[in-house]
Amino acid sequence: MPTAEGQLTNSDRRNMKVVMDRLVPPVDDLPGAGSMGLLDEVERMAEEHDRYRVSLVRFLDALSMDMSVEAEGGFLALEGEQQDEALKEIESSIAKEFANVLEVVYLAYYSRPEVHRRIGWRSGPLQPLGFTLPPFDESILDTVRKREPFWRQAPD
């Protein structure tokens, strides 16, 4: 459970790393989001933005108090599918906070160059390169142009 000041404890960090691996699991040659070492990035965003910080603290509170993880060893001792069940419980009980935690994990994961390589996305700012599209081709209007004006007349 985070401290009163909202700081994550070492136990929180261990839990969160595993949680992140369950949220975004390994794929191809990439590890899950937790094993990728993205917790620092998640903590940074939580520190900078109230919405994420408050949600992360509530999420970790809920995780530590969830009945299903009270067994010895807590969340870490559960099998993978049991961990997913515990997370689903929390998702249904604090949906908004869970969504914010998921958002910040997704933001961290999908900012990684190795992830971009896998999905075919160009890393870095969108500008100044942008993207190239062929110019507008007026022939696409051939069919719709055959339609008579059908806007509704109105008294002036």
Partner 1 sequence: MVTSHDRVDFIVIGSGASGAAATWKLAQGGFKVLCLEQGPWVDHSTHPTNKANWEELSRTKWHYHPNVRKGPSDYYVNDDDSDVKVLMYNALGGSTIHWTGHVPRFHPSDFRVKTLDGVADDWPISYWDLEKFYDENDELMGCSGIHGDPANPDRSPRQMAPVPLGHDGERVARAFDRLGWHWWPSDSHINSEPYRGRPACNNCGPLGYGCSLKAKAMTDVTYLPEAMEHGAEVRANATVYNIATGADGRVTGVNYYDADGGEHWQPANAVIVGCNGIGTPRMLLHAASDSHPTGLANSSGLVGKNLMFHVYAGATGIFPKGEPTYRGPLANIIMSQEFYETDLSRGFVRGYTFQMGRGMGPASTAVGGVSWGSNHHREFDERFGNVNGLGVIGEDLPLESNRVTLDPEIRDRWGIPAPRVHYKLDENSKRMLAHGVKQARTALLEAGAVRVFENQHNVNAGWHLMGTARMGDNPKRSVVDGYGQAHDADNLFIVDGSVFVTGAGVNPTPTIQAIALRTADYIIRERTDLKS
Stretch that binds partner 1, among 5-13, 53-61, 67-75, 114-122 (CB under 8 A): 114-122
117 binds partner 1 (CB under 8 A): no
Angstrom distance (rounded) from CA 73 to CA 121: 40
Question: Tokens representing 120?
Answer: 């075919």
Using CB under 8 A, which residues numbered 12 to 41 contact partner 1? 22-25, 27
Angstrom distance (rounded) from CA 2 to CA 8: 5
Stretch that binds partner 1, among 8-16, 54-62, 65-73, 112-120 (CB under 8 A): 112-120
135 binds partner 1 (CB under 8 A): yes
Residue 71 vs 99, nearer CB to partner 1:
99
The one-character DSSP state at 27 is B
- Let me know if 148 is exposed, middle or buried by CB neighbors in 10 A (0-12, 13-18, 19+): exposed
Angstrom distance (rounded) from CA 55 to CA 34: 18
Question: What's the CA angle centered on 73, arms 47 and 30, to 5 degrees?
Answer: 60
Residues ≥6 apart with Cβ < 8 Å to 102: 23
Minimal distance in Å, beta carbon 61 to partner 1?
19
Contact track, partner 1, 61-100, x by CB under 8 A: -----------------------x--x-------------
* Residues contributing to the site for partner 1 (CB under 8 A): 22-25, 27, 45, 48-51, 84, 87, 102-103, 106-107, 109-111, 115-116, 119-121, 123-138, 140-141, 143-145, 147-156
